[in-house]
Amino acid sequence: GAVVSQHPSWVICKSGTSVKIECRSLDFQATTMFWYRQFPKQSLMLMATSNEGSKATYEQGVEKDKFLINHASLTLSTLTVTSAHPEDSSFYICSAGAGGLKPQHFGDGTRLSIL
Amino acid sequence: AQSVTQPDIHITVSEGASLELRCNYSYGATPYLFWYVQSPGQGLQLLLKYFSGDTLVQGIKGFEAEFKRSQSSFNLRKPSVHWSDAAEYFCAVGANNNNDMRFGAGTRLTVKP
């Protein structure tokens, strides 16, 4: 089946640091990639949708200057949490879709802890 | 916009018992419906999906779900639960070509020995 690799799986860093999370589709071309945030014991909240070669579309309430998304190729999207603070600590999950009726495939998530 | 409701936050069943997880959706057109499972600290794994056709959908790990348009429901079932099924289950509805997906709050399944 389709595989999406997300890296790193866990990161701990100091407040004020910028953190980059990578999402790769390993065996298919992902025309669209999605970034979700999940708080403990809660559902996934869509943060943004990115299409290869164009600007990401952010959901209401998500700061685009805080969460920078780059989708430079059909197999790679990155999420950079800039100047991270403790309230940014969360579980971030990416997914990739090949378009049409093909379902999204999810990465294993990144647990971000800001001290 | 589409939305999903999972009425049960937590369900406990005995191993070997049958399981039904409820999911209700709201969407004006024909929905694309999904069930995902998430183990602690992991991403989401697709169990099954409904796009069109037969309203009873078979998935992996012995799960099935039935789309009932009249009830706006897409309940997940399994005839005999295994201890390894303990996890968080999310129902999701997609609009258009499923690029706009919304998730329910999730149902946590505990399996008693």
Compare B99 and B84 and report the one with higher pLDDT: B84
pLDDT digits (tens, 9 = 90+) for A64-103: 999 999 988 889 999 999 999 999 999 999 999 877 667 7
- Confirm if A113 and A51 have CB atoms less than 8 A apart: no
pLDDT attached to residue A11: 95
Six-digit token string for A39: 């708080």
Instruction: State the best of A26, A39, A43 to mutate against chain B, taking most chain B CBs within 10 Å.
Output: A43
- Confirm if B22 and B75 have CB atoms less than 8 A apart: yes
What is the distance of C-alpha A56 from the center of its chain? 11
User: Chain B partners of A111 at a C-beta cutoff of 8 Å?
Assistant: 41
- Confirm if B20 and B74 have CB atoms less than 8 A apart: no
Dihedral pair phi/psi, residue A90, rounded to 5°: -175, 180
B91 strand-pairing partners:
B35
List residues of B whose CB lies inside 8 A of any A CB: 32, 34, 36, 41-46, 49, 51, 90, 97-106, 108
